[in-house]
Amino acid sequence: MITTETIDGAHIITLDDGKVNALNKEKLDALVAALSKCAGDLAPVAIRGRKGIFSAGFDLKGFGAGPEIATAQLQAGKDAILAILRHPAPVITVCEGHAYPMGAFLMLAADHAIGAEGEFVTGMNESAIGMALPIYPMILGAARLNAHGRKAVATSEMFNPTDAAKVGYFQNVVAPDAVDATLQATLKHMKGLNAGAFNANKTAMNAQLIADIEASPLPDFG
């Protein structure tokens, strides 16, 4: 489901379960492990999903499997966000489709998020499906989304790619046939940065956000 390859001085992590990339504990733990393996050489990392859907979000089966599994799945999501925020090299997400909540959280955690034009939506739809978000994506959204995007968390407004960029989910949105070239240009820029300075600046910028997320409690499913 998760594969990693190194191409021209950058690591490419691909999420592809052949379905909709619903994220359970096992997949999220594998993402964290892949990021850890990529950290040693300080090369930039790109995380890509399937064409048509980056991720359908958390695996809802996990939330129906009992308190222990539900809690572990949410903790794994929290760990994945923290792994991106702490990663010493640039992390770029590439979304060529839909990004439902956990997928949207990964966009917000990344240092740079690229979206593709199309009939896709990104955002947090928990109010529409009868769920309450855990605290940690609220903290992440408050830090990374503008006022419109923050209000949309409660109203379950989902955004097309262009509007998703306006509220803060993406840094740029391009035509589908321009995604690869845009990713290569972004990776080239990231590889040109001073690695030590980047890490120091990212660490300082994310320090309070990381502390707030770490301190946030998970829901009590008991």
For 23-51, give the DSSP string.
E-HHHHHHHHHHHHHHSTT---EEEE-BT
Q: What percent of the chain has pLDDT over 70?
A: 100
pLDDT value at position 108? 98
Q: Which two tokens stand for residue 81?
A: 């966000």
* Mean of pLDDT values over 62-86: 93
Q: What local confidence, expressed as pLDDT, does residue 66 receive?
A: 86
Task: Spell out the domain ranges in the chain.
Answer: 2-215
Report field, pTM of the whole predicted structure over 0.75: yes
Of 65-79, 144-158, 164-178, 182-196, least confident by mean pLDDT is: 65-79
Does residue 151 carry a pLDDT above 80?
Answer: yes
2-215 CATH, one of 3.90.226.10, 3.40.50.300, 3.30.499.10, 3.40.50.2300: 3.90.226.10
Is beta strand 45-48 parallel, antiparallel or unpaired with respect to 91-95? parallel
Q: Identify the pLDDT of residue 165.
A: 98
Please choose, from the candidates 43, 175, 32, 180, the residue with its C-alpha nearest in 3D space to the C-alpha of residue 106: 32
Report yes or no: 23 and 72 within 8 Å, Cβ to Cβ.
Answer: no
Q: Are 81 and 105 in contact (CB under 8 A)?
A: yes
pLDDT at site 213: 98
Residue 222: pLDDT band by 50, 70, 90 thresholds?
Answer: low
For 2-29, what is the mean pLDDT?
A: 97
